Amino acid sequence: MCGIFGYVGARSDAPGMVLHGLKQLEYRGYDSWGIAVPKDGKIVVEKRTGKIGQAETTLPASHVGLGHTRWATHGGVTDQNAHPHLDCTGRLAIIHNGIVQNHRELRRDLRDRGHTFVSETDTEVVAHLLEEECARLGDSAEDLIQAVMTTFRQLKGLNAIAALDVRSGCLAAAKNGSPMTLGWATDGMLLASDYAALLEHTRQMTFLDENQAALLTPDGIAVYDVATGQTITPEITEVSWSAEQADLQGFPDFMSKEIHEQPHVLRRIARERLDDARALAGLIREANETHLVGCGTAAHAAMAGQYLLARVAGRRAFYANGSEFGYLEKFLGPGALAIALSQSGETIDVIDSVRGAKRRGATLAAVTNVEGSTLYRLADHVVLLGAGPERCVLATKSFTAKLAVLLLTAYALDGRIEQAADLLEQAATEIEAMLSDWRRDYIRQIADQIYLREHMYIIGRGPSYPMALETALKIKEVSYVHAEGFAGGELKHGVIALIEPGSPCIALAPNDETRDDLLSGAMEVRARGATVIGIGPREDDAFDFHVPHADLSEASSIVQAIPGQLLGYYLALLRGHDPDKPRNLAKSVTVK
Ligand code: F6R
């Protein structure tokens, strides 16, 4: 949460570069944005509430700049609370991602020592603490980094901070918990919360580790251990993503672009992830218990994995939400396997809980999209999704990619991985067809008929149950229509009371053993006036609308995900919402 971008180097257009970088990072928070650059020995700042959109900067030319897009935690969404925050002298600008848990005590003490606060944020204490440390030391770049580390040691909580100092003309950063990537370009050094924003400048990255700090000068980056203050040799990794992958490439928004990328991603996984899936299957085979852990959409993938492992390979796996797994892990020990699913690899609820499992001796496997992410570095075994940058706040291609990896793994456990690869190819072909034939328009027409309804229900049984939850999440987070997913059998145990004439109800009805019972549920809601949208290979009397798809046995769930994504997308457009940046959300949830 919160996007961070900084540059120092030979170019004099730092304000424009930083603004552009923030536009790439806006999915991390869009309550406000701000940029700081030096001018005549003082910091000058431009900051505004709301989305960055097509904003342009009026800041003066500069060789160094630092910017931030905010997802508010402490203090309302106001210009005053937007980052960067300054010290009392105007020498330093600070931006921050995380929560300074001891900000109240620090603020009180700083006030007592004469500092003036102009915002309600926890961040501002960092600016004033750094002001004191810089005043004690000198004006050199080495003084700045030592002051940043002394300041950072005083902060409690999980934080990433970055500072711009007018005197040394350098940037400095430190992190614990929140991500920070450093980029080595030929014409300068960069920092960002996600390396996707750095790709058009460089693919040479250094991933700052926990409790490390960095000093960025025009010629290079020095990395430090915050605890000792000593330098560490920075590890430079060449990442595989390219800048083009992060562009809209002719699509009107990232949500539709990423929905359309799914066939390509599935084919790539079918071709390139067989060895990874076999290795993951080996870990499951050796483990005495397996836990699948994720948050939000990734939790739904974890739940789908539980069904896949049981149905395909006869293996029991437990699924848990990342935010709850920590409360369940006390019994974990050596021999247990935790498989963390996370697109970003930075979701703090997942990281925290699997770190706890690892401390107890469990093996940690990660299925993630982001090379070099915290989860990537923490895990004993990693499967990279290879889905390319996901810029829409909603997870779409990363969800079906996780399902694909889990499908391969379940079939690998049963010695039939080639069959799974073949199913993935077929799923890719089916999704390609659905995204280009009459079904896409048909889903838009359905959206047209229901977009004024405030409530929707989605039912599925067995492997379609997690898909019902995911369909509901996609619809509600982007269109703000209240959508609830249920296990089809649970309907008559209470939820059916909510059905009224015209209530849209989606029935996920694949050709498996769940179909007949699911259709009974669909009939029951229809009898009470619901409008039933059936998704499955075969037509039925229970359906008012029917979106058909090929029967792909265990890969049917992957195809089932698409109508929900499209319906959510069209509902959002019809209701006048930005599909890429739903209100109150941010991609990569790095605070609790
Ligand atoms: C929903 C969505 C979120 C994420 C969740 C976990 O569309 O994007 O629910 O799935 O925040 O994110 P990752 O996978 O990055 O751990």
* Both structure tokens of 198: 């750095």
Measured by CA distance, the residue closest to atom 5 of ligand 1 is 296
Say whether 134 is catalytic. no
Atom of ligand 1 nearest to the CA of 399: 10
80, burial (CB in 10 Å: exposed 0-12, middle 13-18, buried 19+): middle
**Is 42 one of the catalytic residues?**
no
What is the strand order of the sheet 531-535 is part of? Answer: 482-487, 455-460, 504-508, 531-535, 545-547
pLDDT of residue 42: 97
Helix (H) or strand (E) holding 387: none
Amino acid at 388: G
The CB of 366 under 6 Å from ligand 1? The reply is no
Nearest CA to ligand 1 atom 16: 342
Q: Ligand 1 centre and the CA of 571: distance in Å?
A: 20
- Rounded Cα–Cα distance for residues 481 and 237 (Å): 43
Q: Look at residue 587 in the predicted model and tell me its pLDDT.
A: 80
Does the Cβ of 298 fall within 6 Å of ligand 1?
A: yes
C-beta of residue 337 within 8 angstroms of C-beta of residue 289: yes
| Residue 347 and residue 322 in contact, taking contact as beta carbons nearer than 8 Å | yes
| Rounded (5°) CA angle 354-356-360 | 110
Cβ of 296 closer than 6 Å to ligand 1, yes or no, is yes
Residue 300 CA to ligand 1 center (angstroms) comes to 10
Instruction: Please identify, by atom number, the ligand 1 atom nearest to the C-alpha of residue 394.
Output: 7
Distance (angstroms) between ligand 1 centre and the Cα of 587 equals 7
* Amino acid making up residue 190: L
Q: Is the shortest distance between the CB of 141 and ligand 1 below 6 Å?
A: no
Query: CA–CA separation, 414 vs 347, rounded Å?
Result: 31
Burial of 286 (0-12, 13-18, 19+ CB in 10 A): exposed
Measured in Å, residue 297 CA sits from the centre of ligand 1 at 5
* pLDDT at residue 47, as a whole number: 95
Measured from the CB, is residue 343 less than 6 Å from ligand 1?
yes
Q: Per the omega criterion (within 30 degrees of 0), is the bond before 84 cis? A: yes
Residue of 27, 344, 400 to mutate, ligand 1, most atoms within 8 A of C-beta: 344
Per-residue three-class SS string for 322-375: HHHHHHHHHHCCCCEEEEEEECCCCCHHHHHHHHHHHHCCCEEEEEECCCCCHH
Buried b (16+ CB within 10 A) or exposed e, 378-410: bbebbbbbbbbbbbbbbbbbbbbbbbbbbbbbb
Instruction: Answer yes or no: is the C-beta of 413 below 6 A from any ligand 1 atom.
Output: no
Whether the CB of 589 sits within 6 Å of ligand 1: yes
pLDDT in the model for residue 573: 98
Atom of ligand 1 nearest to the CA of 297: 10
Ligand 1 contact, 353 CB (< 6 A):
no
pLDDT for 586:
81
What does pLDDT average to in each consecutive run of 10 residues of the chain (592 residues)? 93 97 89 96 96 92 97 91 97 95 97 97 97 96 98 96 98 93 98 94 96 97 97 94 81 97 98 98 97 98 98 97 90 94 96 95 97 95 96 97 98 98 98 97 98 97 98 98 96 92 97 97 96 98 98 98 98 96 84 77
User: Model pTM?
Assistant: 0.91
Cβ of 557 less than 6 Å from ligand 1? no
Q: How far apart are CA 208 and CA 510, in angstroms?
A: 46
Mutate which of 254, 297, 467, 479 for ligand 1 pocket (most atoms within 8 A of beta carbon): 297
Q: Is 347 in the pocket of ligand 1 (CB under 6 A)?
A: yes
* The one catalytic residue among 2, 134, 170, 505: 2
pLDDT of residue 536: 98
